[in-house]
């Protein structure tokens, strides 16, 4: 057990999918895993371990924002031996060619700041996805006929962004989408030599103003979860 995870030794699989919302972790576990078992509920952050096609998988919430994800990613890797971590979450589109429901496979994740920034001091560390996971996710999405994009995203430390200049600059430089966790996930994984990838569903759009209706989110997120599971075990 750790301060934030009440799982016992052996309860956490080496492969962990990390949605931000703990209730989405429960939905994904109950929908896609065989015999999912609740292994953590400390502070309401739910984690489940079960089987997918004979492989052990944990689906564990990360909370919202990089400080929250940093706690869970550190403990999952350092204390429970997680080796492959895939963020599954929503993002806001930032390019006209990135449509609602499309997937974004985050090759890199920029940020103004993240919890690990103090380690690097004057260095602008470039958080990047694991290449083997990125390559497999792209192959699987293409084979399934799911629209996807590969490129850089922005991990913001605030939800209600009021800097129009920052959004404009990121968009002008080809940033595909904005979310709140991936940059720290990639940094923590790099620190421990683990593999990490963020697979994101575009649920709203900063350019067009569109938003995915709530009743359609589960169907779109289902594609993302299935691709993440196939990617992890390819």
pTM (2 d.p.): 0.96
For residue 30, say whether it is annotated as part of any ligand binding site. Answer: no
Angle at 121 (CA atoms; ends 117, 125), nearest 5 degrees: 60
42-86 pLDDT, tens digit each: 999 999 999 999 999 999 999 999 999 999 999 999 999 999 999
Give the pLDDT confidence score for residue 164 in this predicted structure.
Answer: 87
CA–CA gap between residue 37 and residue 88 (Å, rounded)? 20
For residue 87, say whether it is annotated as part of any ligand binding site: yes
- Residue 90 annotated as part of some ligand binding site: yes
In terms of phi and psi (left: phi > 0; alpha: psi -120 to 50; beta: otherwise), the region of 100 is beta
Give the separation between CA 11 and CA 75, rounded to whole angstroms. Answer: 13
**CA 124 to CA 116: how far, in whole Å?**
11
Q: What is the pLDDT of residues 12-36, one digit of tens each?
A: 999 999 999 999 999 999 999 999 9
Strand partners, 66: none
Mean pLDDT of the chain: 95
- By annotation, the residues acting in catalysis are 204
**Average pLDDT for residues 82-91, to the nearest whole number?**
97
CATH topology (fold) of 15-232: Rossmann fold (3.40.50)
Is residue 180 marked as binding?
A: yes
């Amino acid at each position: 057990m750790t301060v934030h995870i009440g799982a016992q030794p052996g309860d956490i699989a080496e492969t962990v999918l990390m949605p931000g919302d703990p209730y989405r972790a429960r939905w994904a576990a109950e929908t896609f895993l065989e015999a999912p078992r609740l292994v953590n509920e400390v502070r309401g952050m739910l984690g489940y371990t079960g089987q997918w096609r004979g492989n052990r998988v944990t689906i564990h919430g990360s909370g919202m924002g990089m400080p929250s994800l940093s706690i869970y990613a550190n403990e999952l890797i350092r204390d429970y031996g997680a080796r492959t971590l895939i963020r599954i979450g929503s993002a806001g589109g930032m390019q006209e060619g990135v449509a609602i429901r499309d997937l974004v496979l985050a090759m890199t994740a920029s940020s103004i700041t993240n919890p690990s920034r103090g380690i690097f001091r004057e260095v602008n560390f470039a958080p990047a996805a694991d290449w083997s996971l990125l390559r497999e996710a792209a192959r699987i999405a293409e084979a399934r006929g799911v629209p996807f994009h590969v490129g850089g995203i922005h991990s913001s430390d605030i939800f209600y962004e009021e800097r129009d200049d920052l959004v404009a600059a990121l968009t002008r430089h080809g940033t595909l989408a904005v979310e709140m966790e991936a940059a720290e996930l990639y940094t923590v994984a790099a620190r421990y030599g683990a593999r990490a990838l963020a697979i994101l569903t575009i649920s709203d759009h900063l350019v067009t103003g569109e938003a995915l209706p709530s009743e359609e989110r589960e169907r779109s997120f289902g594609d993302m979860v299935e691709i993440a599971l196939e990617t992890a075990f390819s």
